[in-house]
Amino acid sequence: MKTNLKISLIAHTPQPEKIIAAAAKLCYSKAGTEKILNDLDSQTTDKFLNTLVSMGHMSPIEHAAFTFAAEGISRSLTHQLVRHRIASYSQKSQRYVREGQFEYIVPPAIFQNPAALALFERSMADAQTAYDNLADSLKEQYVQEYLAAGKGSKAAKNAAEKRAIEDARYVLPNACETKIIFTMNARELIHFCRQRSCERAQWEIREMSEQMIVILKDLAPTLFKLAGPPCLYAPCPEGAMSCGKTVEKRLQYGVTEK
């Protein structure tokens, strides 16, 4: 089946823009933290953050953290996601959770091509059959081994199940649906959005990035005002590999600056 990406912000640093502004002001002030915080109203926070971003003073931005939950995504996406190393990840395990009738993500190009879709769905069904058969066969083998080693019936079945599915999972496809919770600080999120909202990013992670940008800009508009592909405010850095869609991307993000 085709599942739909669902991304939600489940936790974040309270008053992220104020916390970042306070951290940055502390670097240049003799005042204590309490006074700095008390003096930061929304107007001064916004003004200071704009200055901070324009100066490229990015280290204070790391003080704000954001935790997202993503569902209806593929293993292909998460293989790309975890390359962003300044983050924490907790993902549904295929070693401990049996993939009985797994859901899968269908790329749009395949979904729109009847012949390709038929082949894709047959492949998913074949993978499910192979996984189920391998898991059942290995579990039966391992149960006998554990019983022979003196384990009780329940313990033997539990241990055999876990051992069987961690080997059977090798036949599962990248399309297999997964769930993940991840936390990034604001600086890494800006970098993530810069890389993954670019047209040269794969469609699925680009869609996730675009949804995250909407959420982040709604929560902290000044902090994340530059979140988006690198071509929004400067020439595309991809050179000869540019997608050539700078105008379209700027329209998408409502950017009128040249």
For the chain, 258 residues long, give each residue's pLDDT as a single digit of tens. 455 899 999 999 999 999 999 998 898 888 899 999 998 999 999 988 988 888 878 899 999 999 999 999 999 999 999 999 999 999 999 999 999 999 999 999 999 999 999 999 999 999 999 999 999 999 999 999 999 999 999 999 999 999 999 999 999 999 999 999 999 999 999 999 999 999 999 999 999 999 999 999 999 999 999 899 999 989 999 989 999 999 999 999 988 765
Task: Look at residue 86 and tell me if it is in a domain.
Answer: yes
Is 205 in the same domain as 135? no
Residue 256 confidence (pLDDT): 79
Domain that holds residue 160: 109-171
Give a yes or no: residue 214 inside a domain: yes
In a domain, 248, yes or no: no
Same domain, residue pair 156 and 181: no
Say if residue 167 is in the same domain as residue 193. no
Residue 213, in any domain of the structure: yes
Structure tokens at 180: 């993940």
The rounded distance, in Å, linking the Cα atoms of 107 and 120 is 10
Of 107, 103, 125, which Cα lies nearest the Cα of 177?
Answer: 103
Say if 103 falls within a structural domain. Answer: no
Residue 206 shares a structural domain with residue 87: yes
Task: Kindly list the catalytic residues.
Answer: 196
* CATH number of the domain to which 87 belongs: 3.30.1360.170
User: Does residue 121 sit in the same domain as residue 13?
Assistant: no
- Cβ neighbours of residue 128 under 8 Å, at least 6 residues apart? 99, 101, 102
- 143 and 199 within one domain: no
In angstroms, the CA 208 to CA 203 distance is 9
Question: Are 181 and 163 in a shared domain?
Answer: no
Q: 210 and 165 in one domain? A: no
Question: Does 166 share its domain with 210?
Answer: no
**Look-up: residue for tokens 């982040």?**
216
Domain co-membership, 83 together with 135: no
Do residues 160 and 143 make contact, with C-beta atoms less than 8 angstroms apart? yes
Co-location of 148 and 54 in the same domain:
no
How many domains is the chain partitioned into structurally?
Answer: 2
What distance lies between CA 225 and its chain's CA centroid? Answer: 20
pLDDT given for residue 258 in this prediction: 52
Q: Is residue 99 part of a domain?
A: no
In this structure, is residue 237 part of a structural domain? no
Q: Are residues 15 and 67 in the same domain?
A: yes
What integer pLDDT is reported at residue 2 of this predicted model? 53
